[in-house]
Amino acid sequence: MSGPSTHAFLKHIPLFSVCHEDELARLAERAIEQRYEKGQMLFQRGDPCQGMYVLVYGRIKIAIVARQGTEKVIEIIHPSQSFGEAVMFLEQPYPVMAQAVEDSLVLFIPAETLFTALDDDSRLARRMLAGLSMRLRTLLKDVETYTLESAVERVVGYLLNSLEGSDDNVVNLPVNKQTLASRLNLTPETFSRVLQKLSEQAGIVVEGREIRVPDRNKLSEMRNLA
Amino acid sequence: MSGPSTHAFLKHIPLFSVCHEDELARLAERAIEQRYEKGQMLFQRGDPCQGMYVLVYGRIKIAIVARQGTEKVIEIIHPSQSFGEAVMFLEQPYPVMAQAVEDSLVLFIPAETLFTALDDDSRLARRMLAGLSMRLRTLLKDVETYTLESAVERVVGYLLNSLEGSDDNVVNLPVNKQTLASRLNLTPETFSRVLQKLSEQAGIVVEGREIRVPDRNKLSEMRNLA
DNA sequence: CTCGATTCTTGACTCTGATCATTCAGCTCG
DNA sequence: CGAGCTGAATGATCAGAGTCAAGAATCGAG
């Protein structure tokens, strides 16, 4: 992936799709490709932030690390998603860490480059505002999930959410079960037990990272009753 | 509070302090004053959003409402704080509700007015981006608190945070204990018991909504040991 | 000042999900 | 092939915080 393909890639990212061609060209030119191997850190809590990222391929986990080293996954980044914008605007060190959970390629867009683009184009600014608002909305939804829902409800919610849109009935877990458990704010043990329970009572079939859901309604009903 | 004083008020709000005088004038002119009595709703989950708010005086609670009516306070708004911006950019219904917990006066700024201002002034846009980023940072911190800290840690964290900056040793709770408990994701009972425990073991003194903290270090240590 | 209504506290009990420990299954690699 | 990982499942136990129920205290309106 070099200059021209970077341009094409950025163009289909919602955030940048509103940009004019020449602006896009400038962004593509200044964007830096970075490769990370599975397990490598992109940045750690406390590192200074110099720009934002867009994931091209692979998978990145964003996590917070508590005092005694306990780690909690906040988000799992999929290709075409951007991350790190908010920190860039705040001009403060990262409050989270990012680690590749698979071999990954990211585009790094330097803060200066983006700031210039924002000043030049109010439509980009508007998009960016909408993007951050969306992020806020999602995080709020997470708070809601963590504080108001039980373990079973969280897992059911995740599965149904993953099925949304597609009409085949298979969820492929994007990461291993430990990581996903942390994302759902569960221990691996509890996650395992919940899947067990859902197999028995909602007819789902778990095969490694592949989960088949023959009956969404049945699964959905598990949310209501205790 | 009428036109001219609205102008002066907006001017000292960080978000708008970067605006040019004439822009500020336009915002002040279009801003709508709204009074709410204690207990009144500003909006409910699902209502359409037409603009953003700035609190002039009083106190507003922002909360999510779960299916069975359970309510969880997300944030307590103090004077000069703004709220509702993110929803405005998303052009989606409110995911939360807002209710006055005291008689309050807010300024409502219509979406159109703000959008125009944003298009005209990239500095305002930048401020707004920083503001939303800050909000995101705070919400992330909340997730961290909810998922990684115990009840005692959350209360201690809240108290120490409230003391930050000031050098007298009194925290005045901004709302009643039920509401604050919900904000900290606790039941009122648990909150009460934690305060009880901190009185015995960290020497804090609770008198209604006033809490005296003679020794911050002692309080801080309660976080570490189980 | 007094009555009624919130709001807060306290006690007894329960339950969800965490922890700890072990076993099992699958891979990878020498 | 088998030794040694890593990830996953399962069982036994525990603890933190929630629930339910009953009082105590505080507030506010008349």
Tens digit of pLDDT for each residue in A199-214? 999 999 999 999 999 9
Q: What residues in B contact A132, CB-CB < 8 Å? A: 86, 89, 129, 132-133, 136
Span B66-74, average pLDDT: 85
Residue-wise burial string across B30-67, b where 16 or more C-beta atoms lie within 10 A, e elsewhere: bbeeeebeeeeebbeeeeebebbbbbbebbbbbbbbee
Say whether A125 and B130 touch across the interface (CB within 8 A): no
Query: pLDDT value at position B226?
Result: 55
Query: pLDDT value at position A69?
Result: 75
In angstroms, what CA-CA distances link B191 with A145, B155, B170, B199?
Answer: 21, 8, 18, 12
In angstroms, what CA-CA distances link A33 with A67, A153, B204?
Answer: 33, 39, 54
> Percentage of residues in chain B with pLDDT exceeding 90?
89
Nearest nucleic acid nucleotide to A207, CA to C1' distance: D8
Please report the residues numbered 25 through 64 in chain B whose beta carbons come closer than 8 angstroms to any beta carbon of chain A. Answer: 64
Q: Which CATH class is domain A149-225?
A: mainly alpha
Query: pLDDT value at position B5?
Result: 86
> Is residue B58 scored above 90 in pLDDT?
yes
> Is residue B82 scored above 60 in pLDDT?
yes
On the CB side of A84, CA atoms within 13 Å amount to 27
Of the partner residues B87, B115, B147, the one whose CB lies closest to the CB of residue A72: B147
Query: pLDDT value at position A225?
Result: 65
Query: pLDDT value at position A66?
Result: 80
d(CA A86, CA B113): 25
Query: pLDDT value at position B1?
Result: 47
**Domain ranges in chain A?**
3-133, 149-225
Touching check for A14 and chain B: CB below 8 Å? no
Say whether B74 and A143 touch across the interface (CB within 8 A): yes
> Is residue B66 scored above 70 in pLDDT?
yes
d(CA A17, CA A7): 11
d(CA B73, CA A2): 48
Preferred mutation among A65, A132, A190 to probe B, highest tally of B CBs within 10 A: A132
Listed as ranges, residues in chain A with pLDDT below 50 are: 1
Nearest nucleic acid nucleotide to A187, CA to C1' distance: C18
Q: What residues in B contact A135, CB-CB < 8 Å? A: 136
Helix boundaries (H) for chain B: 3-11, 14-17, 21-30, 85-90, 111-120, 122-148, 151-163, 177-183, 188-202, 216-221
Fold of A3-133: Jelly Rolls (2.60.120)
B180 or A18, which is more confident: B180
Please tell me the pTM assigned to this model: 0.93
d(CA A88, CA B59): 31
The number of residues making up chain B comes to 226
The number of residues making up chain A comes to 226
Integer Rg of chain A from CA: 19
Query: pLDDT value at position B225?
Result: 66
Torsion of CA B97, A140, B219, B205, to 10 degrees: 10
Question: Which tens digits make up the pLDDT trace of B132-169?
Answer: 999 999 999 999 999 999 999 999 999 999 999 888 99
